[in-house]
Structure 1
Amino acid sequence: MKVAELVNHNYARLTANDQYVWQYVSNHRTEVVNMTLAELAKKSNVSKSSILRFTQKISFRGFSEFKYALKNEETTQSLEAAPVKKFGTIINATLDTLMTHDFSGTIRLMVRSRKVFLYGTGNLQRLMAQEMRRLFLADNVTLFVVEGVDEIKALTRTLTSEDLVFLISLHGESDNAISFAQSLRTNGIPFVSITSYIDNEIAKLANESIFVNTGEIEISENHTLEVADGFFLLASILFLRYCEFTNQK
């Protein structure tokens, strides 16, 4: 149990003096984990024996064990808060960038196209393609998701300059994606690249390029999490911008 849970569990046994000690500790947890028993007694204006009795009533053998539990909780909370805070920073930066991006060129390509195709190079990118398809169906706009390399080969033979392709790649370095992009460019088929903030070949070849801010969060000593939620934010924002554009027409 956490210290606060132990206090609640044994609350019926606590005197008014015990409750005062806990109130002081809970309001000064960071300072208390670095205090001696004598320092805490002086700061909280109670005797050392009163503090010892309080810690024993809530199931600790003494002040040292009580302080150790508090310190562990503080360390755990600090480690848990840091990744969440960084996640928020990455998402906010991504949202700020996407909200100010000029999507008019991309939307004009979509509006004038006979068909719009979506190709994602990996699992995340394919999920984004599916999400874009789902969103645009709400406005009765059908987007066609290309499922794999074999479909790319068949599709390339039928595409024309009146079609549009969204090429979604996390880093823009996939051999299949680069080959596909080169083929589209060579055959005069317009396409929009969606990649992270990396200088990549796909973005250079595209008619329009949209960049999504990503970042890494250290979640343990040997593991990191790549935050790519911005791709899904982009899907929603692009759809809403499309609706704004077409409604104005």
Structure 2
Amino acid sequence: MDSESNRYKPSIMMEQHKHSFTKSETKIYHYITSHIDQVLYYSLTELSESCDVAEATLLRFFRKLHFKGFQDFKFALAQEESAKRTPNEENSTYIEKVRDYMVQAIHDSYDLIDALALEVAVKTIAQAPDVVIFGIGSSGIAANDMENRLLRIGKHIQAVTDPHTQVMRASSMTKETVVIAISVTGSTKDIVDTIQIAKAQGATIIAITNYLKSPLTKLANQVLLTSAKESPLDSGSLITKVAQLYLIDLICTGVTLENYEQSEAMKHQISENTAKKLY
């Protein structure tokens, strides 16, 4: 049995098991060791296509190394890579780095926007009588923000961020329901499981994610991409949320313009009513 100290070092685990790798596993090993920086930001589907092996083969590879799966492996790999950096590399210019990352996230997300896909999603949401947003963790924060924005223009909408409540809500959906699923990786099991239920009920699925190829996008009718891929150690970062909120702002603005007069009337009414809450 491998020592506990090596358990969290993917490079050592791979070297220790290299002699027992199959042909496919050797291909995975060579790809990962040659593309570590990219692998940290991959989804399982992207890694599968890059290595030209099945996702099931990848999962068996990681379990052979005593990891629970790809996310567990990526987290350990990110820790190992982070430990190689010096404190000066990490902290000397963090103020500028955070600024640059945020600006870059918006620029990159702008470059990824498919105007036609955005227009289709906006019309789908604007015309739907029942719209539900699913998000968990940091993506749940984005879901709540989107709910707040659309409620202000009179849209009948609900954000659900608890996995168990999501299952119950998905079970009662119909063909008139539009689900907006927000997930950075598109691989969050709770979200994917719930979307499978919603899909079976006939709901239309719009995915907001950073990965074009993932378990979530396989289920989605429409996919809108943001660009702020995060390493496992940066999960939930504000930079990722900035990219999500930028796209959400575009969607909400588009929905407002679709029903401009009604939206403006509702915004004025809400402003008048909320003003009564102020001294």
Q: TM-score range by the shorter chain?
A: 0.5 to 0.7
Identity %: 15
Q: Which residue of 1 aligns with 2:226?
A: 212
Q: Which residue of 2 aligns with 1:68?
A: none
Q: 2:256 aligns with which of 227, 243, 247?
A: 243
Distance 1:128 1:149 in 2: 16
Specify the alignment match of 2:56 in structure 1: none
Structure 1 position 112 matched with structure 2 position 132: no
Alpha-carbon separation, structure 2, partners of 1:213 and 1:94: 5
Structure 2: which 5+ residue stretches go unaligned?
1-90, 263-279
For 1:148-159, list aligned pairs within 5 A: 148-159=162-173
Q: Map 1:133-152; keep pairs closer than 5 Å.
A: 133-152=147-166
Q: In 2, Cα distance between the equivalents of 1:114 and 1:176?
A: 25
Closer/same/farther in 2, CA of residues 78 and 101 from structure 1, 3 Å limit: farther
Counterpart amino acid of residue 240 in structure 1: T
* Per-residue CA distance 1:36-89 (angstroms, 9 max, x = gap): xxxxxxxxxxxxxxxxxxxxxxxxxxxxxxxxxxxxxxxx87564344334322
Residues 118 and 145 in structure 1, CA contact (< 8 A), matched pair in contact too? yes
Structure 1 residue 173 corresponds to structure 2 residue 187: yes
Q: Which residue of 1 aligns with 2:23?
A: none
Give the letter aligned to residue 169 of structure 1.
Answer: S
Structure 2 letter corresponding to 1:184: A
Do the aligned residues in 2 keep the contact of 1:115 with 1:164 (CA within 8 Å)? yes
Instruction: Indicate the structure with greater strand content.
Output: 1
| Aligned CA distance change for structure 1 residues 166 and 86 (closer, same or farther; 3 Å) | closer
Report the Cα distance in structure 1 between the residues aligned to 2:124 and 2:105, rounded to whole angstroms. Answer: 29
User: How far off its partner does 1:112 sit?
Assistant: 3.0
Equivalent residue number for residue 121 of structure 1: 136
Contact 2:117–2:224 (CA under 8 A) maintained in structure 1: no
CA contact (8 A) 1:129 1:145 kept: yes
Q: How far does residue 212 in structure 1 lie from its aligned partner after superposition?
A: 0.9
**Hey, what does 1:30 align to over in structure 2?**
none
Say which of 169, 191, 205 aligns to 2:205. 191
For residues 81 and 148 of structure 1, do their structure 2 counterparts lie closer, same or farther at Cα, with a shift above 3 Å needed?
Answer: closer
Unaligned runs of at least 5 residues, structure 1: 1-75, 218-222
* 3-state SS in 2 of match to 1:197: coil
**Matches of 2:221 and 2:93 in 1, distance apart?**
45
The answer as to whether partners of 2:205 and 2:222 remain within 8 angstroms in 1 is yes
Q: 2:112 aligns with which of 97, 101, 106?
A: 97
Asked if structure 2 preserves the Cα contact closer than 8 Å seen for 1:118 and 1:165, the reply is yes
Map of 1:4 onto structure 2: none
Letter in 1 for 2:252: F
4+ residue runs over 6 A deviation: none
What is the TM-score normalised by the length of structure 2? 0.53
Q: State the Cα distance separating 1:92 from its structure 2 match.
A: 1.8
Equivalent residue number for residue 232 of structure 1:
245
CA change 1:154–1:97 in 2 (3 A) is same
Q: Return the alpha-carbon distance in structure 1 between the equivalents of residues 120 and 153 of structure 2.
A: 20
Provide the rounded CA distance (Å) in 2 between the counterparts of 1:234 and 1:84.
Answer: 19
Separation (CA, whole Å) in 1 of partners of 2:179 and 2:93: 45
Report the residue type matching 2:188 in the other structure: S
The normalised TM-score by structure 1 is 0.59
Structure 1 residues 79, 246: closer, same or farther in 2, change over 3 A?
closer
Q: Deviations over 1:181-216 (max 9, x none)?
A: 222222221111111135201112111111111145
State the Cα RMSD in Å. Answer: 2.7
Q: Which has the higher contact order (CA 8 A, sep 6+)?
A: 2
Matched letter for residue 232 of structure 1: L
Which letter maps to 1:91?
A: I
Query: Is the contact made by 2:186 and 2:211 (CA closer than 8 Å) also made in structure 1?
Result: no
* Largest Rg, 1 or 2: 1
* Length, aligned pairs only: 168
Contact 1:172–1:178 (CA<8 Å) still a contact in 2?
yes
Rounded to whole Å, the distance in 2 between the matches of 1:153 and 1:82 is: 39
